[in-house]
Chain A
Amino acid sequence: MTQDIYLNHGLILASVLFALGLFGVLARRNIIFVLLSIEVMLNAAGLVFVVAGAKWGQADGQVMFIFILAMAAAEVSVGLALMLRMYHILKTLDADAAGRMKG
């Protein structure tokens, strides 16, 4: 019984972290912080998978966490490359500066 509470609180922690990450994405306009907040949200999602895997004692949750890790690595590499490109073209890191499209 005590370990169920433990796991419920793990889920609560994950949702709090996810909400903080979502707030960061919505509230910050510097693109470095937007990327960091996305990392926070991905990490919270991974925490949910690991907590669920721990509840049933199965390895599937950890496998899903490894997939999330691979996805986060790919996302960060492309996102940071885009950020460098944007900085070279626009000379700023403000996400709103790139809000206007060309077409």
Chain B
Amino acid sequence: MSAVFYLSAFVAVAATVMVITRVNAVHALLYFIVSLLSIALIFFLLGAPFVAALEVIIYAGAIMVLFVFVIMLLNIGSEAAEKEKQLLSPQLWAGPALLSAVLLGEFIYVLGHGGARAGGIGIVGPRVVGISLLTKYVIGLELASMLLLAGLVGAYHLGRRQEAGRESGERS
């Protein structure tokens, strides 16, 4: 089981190195998603299945989709069609696909060998986490919801279209 841990740690580090050295932002995003998936597998091995699911759903699902949307918003125009053709070329997706194939193999291996329990670490399930979140940390939960509301309002305010008065530097 420790071989699985070290292999996914290697995949995480390799994918992160690829993230910070890419030139194209879409390539970097693909590698970052692989890095997040490998860290989710590490969470699963450490006996935290709930957090592993959150990592995949929220980080790799929601936050990365936000990044993709913004990158696609930034290059509208005739180059976008050319870039979409390039997305299908194997040299773009071969690296991330290879790394995620490694992760998939590890995941199947772990599931076939008794899950995370075989690692010798006690599993802290979603039930305990939820009870702790809603009793001991309920103030933190409220603060997090307020932070998300502030983020929503801030993103709306910054992202809306500028109206007249921009030239003079005044905000309407």
Contact = CB atoms under 8 A, between A and B. Distances in A.
Interface in B45-78: 46-48, 50-51, 54-55, 58-59, 62-63, 66-67, 70-71, 73-74
Interface in B1-54: 2, 5-6, 9, 12-13, 16-17, 19-20, 22, 25, 28-29, 32, 35-36, 39, 42-43, 46-48, 50-51, 54
Contacts of A84: 70, 73-74, 158-159
Nearest to A13: B9
A23 B20 contact: yes
Interface residues of A, number: 58
Contacts of B48: 50, 53-54, 61-62, 65
A83 B42 contact: no
B112 interface: no
B147 A71 contact: yes
Q: What's the interface size class on B, roughly?
A: 35 or more
Contacts of A40: 16, 19-20, 32, 35
A21 B152 CA distance: 26
Given A36-B32, A73-B151, A85-B159, A57 B63 contact: no
Contacts of A2: 2, 120
Residue among A17, A43, A63, A75 with the highest chain B CB neighbour number at 10 A: A63
Contacts of A80: 66-67, 70, 155
B63 A39 contact: yes
